[in-house]
Amino acid sequence: MKLIFRKIQNKLEGNKDDVKLNENILIKVFIGLITLVSISLFLPNYKSIETDIEVGTVWSSEDLIAPFSFPIYRDENEFNKEKKEVESSVPPVFSAVEINIQEIRDSLNAFFTSVEGLFSKSINLEKGSDSGIISEKLAADRDATGLQLSPDFWVKFQKFYRNDYKTANSITYQSFKNSVKQNIIDFSNDKIINLEKSRIGIREITVKANKEKLFGIETLDKVYDKPQILTEARGKFNQVFRDSVLTDIAYQIANIYVKENLIFNKELTDLEIQNRIEQIPKTIGIVRENERIVSKHDPITNFTKLKLDSYKKVRLENVGVQDYFKQVVGKVMTIFILLLILSFFLYYIRFDIYNNNLKLALLSSLLILVSFISFLSLKLTINAPVELLIFVSVASILLTIIFDSRLAFFAIVIVCLLIAAIRGGDFTVVFVSFCGSVLAIFSVRDIKNRSQIFRSFFFILAGYTIAILAVGFDRFENLQKVTVNLLYGGINAIMSPIIAYGLLIFYEKVFKITTDLTLLELADFNQPLLKELSTKAPGTFHHSIVMGNLAEEAAASIKANRILARVGCYYHDIGKTAQPSFFVENQIEKYNRHETLNPNLSAKIIISHVKEGIELARRNKLPQEIIDFIPMHHGTTLVKYFYSKAKSLVNEDKEDFSEYIFRYPGPKPQTKETGIAMLADTVEASTKAIEDPSPKKLEEKIDEVIKSRFMEGELDECDLTLKDLTLIKKSFLKILIGIHHQRIKYPEDIKNQE
């Protein structure tokens, strides 16, 4: 028998390894390190006091004095614009190729000799040979020349060579050959570039003879590109020969032997461009050491902005390895201090969250998420106030719903400080985000349903609008900029509730978090388990409702979670639906089914409703916080009625009689809410048995119950203090007096009594 009850107890206590894991200090350290390292990576690589200072705003910090002399660099956009103009205005450089007229003449002579030999050979082959074989041999010989000439060229040229083609002006082959050679030599003396003129954006080029000497600048109209010189050649040949066939033959020969003699030199062109760029002035002045860069309350002009940007640039260039190491240490220390402050708050004010690694991981994920979005806002280069889309309000809504408004407010202060660190002390973003987030916390602090999340839109919009206008007026910002900021603030207000709604569902599922929204949904009497309880065990259902009212009032009086206390009481006895008639509150008739049962069996049946309730709750996927009420509201208390009955039937010295089988398996209450539920359960049941209940009798009974549970040690493992117990007693008494008040007797009632 002991073995059976021990197994039941182990089952009810759950997996202790999971509990230990959720409270493991090493995991807490790991979560802290991940948070520290992640956020530190998002910090900028310099401490910038002039980040995001824009022209037209006012310098709100103290006077900035130059710690060293530095040049004032030109505006980067203007410099790049002039740089592009230089790049497009530099004439491309062409290297001249030395023209060797004799080589050209020799090449042409060799060409004509080869062609003449080829044509003579074809005449000899034609005598008595098969025409097909002749064509193949001639084609092979033509290919062997390696000249890219069309078959039509060979046919036309061969006919002309053999006098089979008569020209209009009776030009002989010899005169044709001499004219072609001379004209090609003449064209080769012209300046021919190897780029098409249409690809050159300016009207001049630079001609370089060798590494040391330049021919100088040439205009494009004094040079030719290859298509242009060939067009000139065709015109010349047509003028000389006045025959389209001979012109085409000469044109194809010229296409091969007229070569470009000015070759584009990219290396020299790039070098010339670079030399010209280096001549562009990069600075427009200098700031001397100890000179004032900008004074407090001075408007930021274009020139002031250039000085600030130049100061930042020079300072970054002077950062050494040692400075970088100091910077890394400083970044980590900044984040460490902020996280340490948050940890102190959790440890001393919200230890329940500090002791729950899942909740710590959830909080960490929100900090990292907001920090990452802040980091992205720095990296985006679009001309818009994207920093106003850092959804801090989403974090404030989630923290308020999941935890409470006090933690949410404190955490948002830390979040805003993190944003300030990441964005280089950007006061505008921090101030605006803080205002919107605080009002978001206010809008959902007493949320009753999920749709109420969207009500936060109006509060967030109000916060952003007021803050943006305040900053804009203070800094004399123009109307256009303020309007754009208001637009982005409005987008934030619209998107924040939507994002929060989706993330809330995600966090509830992933981190197994039970929010007040979930509890309120479970409090609906149309929930299947409560509906089943009301029909199968109406007495238990009524008892649970009254008990829930008692627990809610008591929890509110000691600042515990009143919704959790009430809803936990609604489900604490759902296991009784398995065998409702064995519990006195559900027995309609006077007959008690336990009268015929052995006390041991009766106790087993009574105690089994805890196990049945846990299994039923898990099948219906109730949150663990609600499931905890089922075993903890009894703790390890004794089923006294059946224990006394069993004890009266046997001698106390009998070995097989044990108090153990008459005790609930526990565990004892671990939270204030489950401790309240234990007291409310006993108080509600025991006060029903009071005849003619008066406030004094009710108070005495409440005192008796609280004292009994306290002395039995059932409240040792929860956080209820003696002060809490006093407040709980007062809350119970207030509710019970309202329930058990004496009704005024009307005349008819008195007459009936007589």
Average pLDDT for 606-611: 89
∠ CA 306-308-309, rounded to 5°? 65
The three-class DSSP label of residue 99 is: coil
Distance of CA 69 to the CA centre of its chain: 42
**Distance from C-alpha of 219 to C-alpha of 207, rounded to nearest angstrom:** 10
Residue found by looking up tokens 């407090």 in the block: 296
**Distance from C-alpha of 293 to C-alpha of 303, rounded to nearest angstrom:** 10
Instruction: Inform me whether the pLDDT recorded for 182 exceeds 50.
Output: yes
The three-class DSSP label of residue 205 is: strand
Instruction: Inform me whether the pLDDT recorded for 361 exceeds 90.
Output: yes
**Distance from C-alpha of 202 to C-alpha of 220, rounded to nearest angstrom:** 9
pLDDT in tens, 72-130: 888 888 888 888 888 888 889 888 888 888 888 888 888 888 887 877 776 665 555 54
Q: Do residues 134 and 122 touch, judged by C-beta distance below 8 A?
A: yes
Instruction: Inform me whether the pLDDT recorded for 752 exceeds 70.
Output: no
Q: Do residues 552 and 597 touch, judged by C-beta distance below 8 A?
A: no
Average pLDDT for 676-692: 89
**Please, where in the chain does CATH 1.10.3210 lie?**
518-743
**Distance from C-alpha of 111 to C-alpha of 105, rounded to nearest angstrom:** 10
Instruction: Inform me whether the pLDDT recorded for 445 exceeds 70.
Output: yes
Instruction: Inform me whether the pLDDT recorded for 68 exceeds 90.
Output: no
Supply the pLDDT for residue 212. Answer: 52
pLDDT in tens, 116-172: 787 777 666 555 554 444 455 555 555 555 566 777 787 788 777 777 556 656 677
Instruction: Inform me whether the pLDDT recorded for 9 exceeds 80.
Output: no
C-beta contacts of 452-455 below 8 A and 24+ residues apart: 453/397, 453/401, 453/497, 453/500, 453/501, 453/504, 454/497, 454/498, 454/501, 455/497
**Distance from C-alpha of 185 to C-alpha of 187, rounded to nearest angstrom:** 6
Peptide bond into 667 cis (omega under 30): yes
Supply the pLDDT for residue 134. Answer: 43
Supply the pLDDT for residue 14. Answer: 44
Q: Do residues 84 and 157 touch, judged by C-beta distance below 8 A?
A: no
Distance of CA 604 to the CA centre of its chain: 54
Instruction: Inform me whether the pLDDT recorded for 49 exceeds 60.
Output: no
Alpha helices (H) in 42-128, listed in sequence order: 76-89, 101-126
Is residue 741 very low, low, confident or very high in pLDDT (cuts 50, 70, 90)?
A: low
Mean pLDDT of the chain: 83
Which structure tokens are listed for 646?
């069993």
Q: Which of 681, 651, 649, 689 is nearest to 664 (CA)?
A: 681
**Distance from C-alpha of 384 to C-alpha of 488, rounded to nearest angstrom:** 9
With left for phi above 0 and alpha for psi between -120 and 50, is residue 216 left, alpha or beta? left
Supply the pLDDT for residue 136. Answer: 52
The three-class DSSP label of residue 592 is: coil
Q: Do residues 485 and 385 touch, judged by C-beta distance below 8 A?
A: yes
Average pLDDT for 395-410: 93
The strand pair at 262-264 and 93-96 is best described as antiparallel
3-state helix, strand, coil in the chain (%, to 5): 70, 5, 25
**Distance from C-alpha of 221 to C-alpha of 230, rounded to nearest angstrom:** 15
pLDDT in tens, 536-592: 999 899 999 999 999 999 999 998 999 999 999 999 999 988 888 788 777 776 666
Average pLDDT for 721-743: 87
Is residue 602 very low, low, confident or very high in pLDDT (cuts 50, 70, 90)?
A: confident
Burial class (CB in 10 A: 0-12, 13-18, 19+), 718: buried
Beta-strand (E) ranges in 577-714?
A: none
Sign of CA dihedral 716, 720, 724, 729: negative
CATH for 518-743? 1.10.3210
Q: Do residues 156 and 229 touch, judged by C-beta distance below 8 A?
A: no
Supply the pLDDT for residue 205. Answer: 86
Average pLDDT for 335-344: 94
Q: Which of 265, 229, 259, 217 is nearest to 94 (CA)?
A: 265
Instruction: Inform me whether the pLDDT recorded for 340 exceeds 90.
Output: yes
Q: Do residues 167 and 243 touch, judged by C-beta distance below 8 A?
A: yes
HEC-encoded secondary structure of 658-694: CHHHHECCCCCCCCHHHHHHHHHHHHHHHHHCCCCCC
Supply the pLDDT for residue 22. Answer: 75
The three-class DSSP label of residue 202 is: coil
Amino acid symbol at 723:
K
Average pLDDT for 707-727: 92
Scored b (16 or more CB within 10 A) or e, 229-242 reads bbebbbebbbebbe
The three-class DSSP label of residue 515 is: coil
HEC-encoded secondary structure of 523-567: CCCCCHHHHHHHHHCHHHHHHHHHHHHHHHHHHHHCCCCHHHHHH
Supply the pLDDT for residue 706. Answer: 94
| pTM score of the predicted model | 0.61
Average pLDDT for 226-237: 88
Phi, psi of 510 (to 5 degrees): -70, -45
If residue 285 lies in a helix (H) or strand (E), which one and from where to where? strand 283-287
pLDDT in tens, 455-479: 899 999 999 999 999 988 887 878 8
pLDDT in tens, 614-669: 999 999 999 999 999 999 999 998 888 788 777 777 765 454 567 778 888 889 99
Comparing 30 with 424, the larger pLDDT belongs to 30
Q: Do residues 188 and 259 touch, judged by C-beta distance below 8 A?
A: yes
∠ CA 201-202-204, rounded to 5°? 140
Supply the pLDDT for residue 130. Answer: 44
Supply the pLDDT for residue 615. Answer: 94
Instruction: Inform me whether the pLDDT recorded for 681 exceeds 80.
Output: yes
The three-class DSSP label of residue 574 is: helix
Distance of CA 754 to the CA centre of its chain: 79
Instruction: Inform me whether the pLDDT recorded for 7 exceeds 70.
Output: no
Beta bridge partners of 204: 219
DSSP assigned state of 73:
E
Task: Give percent of the chain above pLDDT 70.
Answer: 86
Q: Which of 136, 133, 135, 141 is nearest to 116 (CA)?
A: 141
Average pLDDT for 21-41: 90
Instruction: Inform me whether the pLDDT recorded for 374 exceeds 50.
Output: yes
Q: Do residues 551 and 566 touch, judged by C-beta distance below 8 A?
A: yes
**Distance from C-alpha of 216 to C-alpha of 302, rounded to nearest angstrom:** 42
Supply the pLDDT for residue 754. Answer: 46
Q: Do residues 66 and 314 touch, judged by C-beta distance below 8 A?
A: no
Supply the pLDDT for residue 250. Answer: 87
Half-sphere exposure in the Cβ direction for 626 (13 Å, CA): 31
Instruction: Inform me whether the pLDDT recorded for 289 exceeds 90.
Output: no
**Distance from C-alpha of 480 to C-alpha of 665, rounded to nearest angstrom:** 70
pLDDT in tens, 347-358: 999 888 998 898
Pick from 59-68, 239-248, 492-501, 744-753: least confident: 744-753
Supply the pLDDT for residue 20. Answer: 63
Residues 6+ apart with CB under 8 A from 98: none
Q: Do residues 607 and 659 touch, judged by C-beta distance below 8 A?
A: no
The strand pair at 192-193 and 224-225 is best described as parallel
Task: Give percent of the chain above pLDDT 90.
Answer: 33
Is residue 4 very low, low, confident or very high in pLDDT (cuts 50, 70, 90)?
A: very low
Instruction: Inform me whether the pLDDT recorded for 337 exceeds 90.
Output: yes
**Distance from C-alpha of 400 to C-alpha of 438, rounded to nearest angstrom:** 10
